[in-house]
Amino acid sequence: MSQHLLTICYLIGSVTFILGLKMLSNPASARKGNLVAAGGMTIAILGTIFLYSYQEDNTTHYLGNHIWIFVALVIGSVVGTLAAKKVKMTAMPEMVSLFNGMGGACAALISIVEFNHFSKEATHDASSSKALIILLGLVIGSVSFAGSMIAWGKLNGKIKDLSFKGQNILNLLVLALALGCTASLIMNPYQGMMLYVILSLSIVYGIFFVMPIGGADMPVVISLLNSFTGVAAACGGFLYDNKVMLTGGILVGAAGTLLTILMCKAMNRSLKNVLIGSFGGNAKVASGGSSAQGHHKEISMSDAAVVMSYANKVMIVPGYGLAVAQAQHTCHELEKILVEKGVEVKYAIHPVAGRMPGHMNVLLAEADVSYDLLLEMEQANDEFSTTDVVLILGANDVVNPAAKSDPSSPIYGMPILDVELAKNVIVNKRSMKPGYAGIENDLFYRPKTSMLFGDAKKVLQDLCAEIKSH
């Protein structure tokens, strides 16, 4: 009876995962979808704790150690809740990397425990497919854990990019060695120490895999590592014949893979180029500099307020500078003030703006900006030619014309927001330093462009005050 109830719990969990993921595609239902999936996960976890059973020596056994299990659940829930509540939106990419790494570590630990059980019970006729699943979970989970930790360190500035001649060859050799050891252990599961050799090689590969990848490609790397964790979790689902674990892992792996492909398409780059190109890592200024481009033009706060107050349409392009300044609420206030004056205001969102997929969407949603005002890149590019003023808030590489005009630029061919088509372009930055990818932006020296220097929040607050006075 308990097994039938557990099957129903797993079925509910699997269905809620699929429904939750579907609901996440629409901002209006995203929050509800998250709660639906979380509810299904809770049902699956409680079902496993109280209903799971196995046969041993003609006796039915249930999970014990409930006190330890619930102590661990409470500790994890408290730590996770506090971390999620305290984290700033600018640090959300780091948090995603950290949590994703924990998922990979869990998959790797499961593989270590299960292989120890497997090797003790293994005979010469033991299933090699089971050993393969266990070791795949170990390799993929370890790579995801190590890579995610490096990504976390690079996103918060604690770890610098590292690349050297022959690094890609070394990476391939380490991976080949790890896979070779895996094949050897499958054929002879009694080589106990070989398991830890595979673990060590996988961690080394995960570190070297992410170390040379630069800032501009971090969103793609986070998405790819997320798919790795999903695949590792799916291996655990196969191992335990756990339908909900299998479904969740496949959904995460498939969604992460598709998102990675879509982001590469948005950057007009292949995944191979992302992984071995080191774009943004130790990058030099690739597109001239202020001396080569000429002089930039500044605009006063008063003039910027006048231009925006009397515009028919204003397009706001949010970037990481907006997130750093925690200026999303002030930006929404500016939008409302302009709308009250009869100005049409919309937001242009580049798919890889910020430090993670959907970073700008989440940031603006937090400030209650209507999703209907957020235009994807293709939609925004169709409207720039009829826009009077584009206000760029901390975005850099996603508006760089070098992507279209400079074949020598590392971002050449990458689709960008065509902000230069607007009548006036106002760029808010702290300074003239290059963006996250380390590439100079020719847009800042164009005749239509005016620079408005300062912290995004302070600048927007002053703009709001000036516009109100007109």
The one catalytic residue among 57, 241, 303, 397: 397
CA 43 to chain centre: 27
Give bridge partners of residue 427 from the DSSP assignment.
Answer: 392, 451
Report pLDDT digits (tens) over 19-28.
999 998 777 7
Q: What are phi and psi of 230, to 5 degrees?
A: -60, -45
Helix (H) or strand (E) holding 38: helix 27-51
Per residue in 270-299, pLDDT tens? Answer: 777 666 655 444 444 444 443 345 688 999
Whole-number Å distance between alpha carbons of 458 and 272: 41
Please give the model's pTM, rounded to 2 decimal places.
0.79
- Per-position b or e across 250-271, b if 16+ CB within 10 A of its CB: bbbbebbbebbbebbebbebee
Alpha carbon of 351 to those of 376, 377, 380: distances in Å? 7, 7, 12
Name residues whose C-beta falls within 8 Å of residue 59's C-beta, 6 or more positions apart in sequence.
none
CB 304 within 8 A of CB 393: no
Q: Rounded to an integer, what distance in angstroms lies between the CA atom of residue 434 and that of residue 436? A: 7
| From the candidate CATH numbers 3.20.20.140, 3.40.50.150, 3.40.50.1220, 3.40.50.880, the one assigned to the domain spanning 290-469 | 3.40.50.1220
Residue 303 CB contacts under 8 Å (≥ 6 apart), including other chains: 450
Q: Among this protein's residues, is 418 annotated catalytic?
A: no
Q: Cα 196 vs. chain centroid, distance in angstroms?
A: 30
Please, are residues 192 and 101 in contact by the beta-carbon 8 Å criterion? Answer: no
Catalogue the E-assigned strands of 178-329.
313-318
Q: What angle do CA 312, 316, 319 make, to 5 degrees?
A: 170
DSSP 111-124: HHHHHHHHHHH--T
Query: 317, 341, 339: which is closest to 427 by C-alpha?
Result: 317
Element (H, E) at 62: strand 59-62
pLDDT in tens, 205-232: 999 989 887 666 777 888 899 999 999 9
Q: What is the C-alpha to C-alpha distance for residues 96 and 161, in angstroms, rounded to an integer?
A: 20
Cβ pair 205, 181 in contact under 8 A: no
Burial (Cβ within 10 Å: 0-12, 13-18, ≥19) of residue 168: middle
State how far the alpha carbon of 82 is from the alpha carbons of 39, 75, 155, 368, in Å.
19, 11, 21, 23
pLDDT tens, position by position, for the chain (470 residues)?
A: 678 899 999 999 999 999 999 998 777 788 899 999 999 999 999 999 998 877 777 777 788 889 999 999 999 999 989 988 888 766 778 888 899 999 999 999 999 999 888 877 655 445 778 889 999 999 999 999 999 999 998 888 788 878 788 888 898 899 999 999 999 998 888 777 899 999 999 999 999 989 887 666 777 888 899 999 999 999 999 888 888 999 999 999 999 898 888 878 777 667 776 666 554 444 444 444 433 456 889 999 999 999 999 999 999 999 888 888 889 999 999 999 999 999 999 999 988 787 777 788 888 888 889 988 999 899 999 999 999 999 999 888 889 888 888 887 777 778 889 999 999 999 998 877 766 556 778 899 999 999 999 999 999 999 999 998 87
Q: How many helices (H) and strands (E) does the chain have?
A: 18, 8
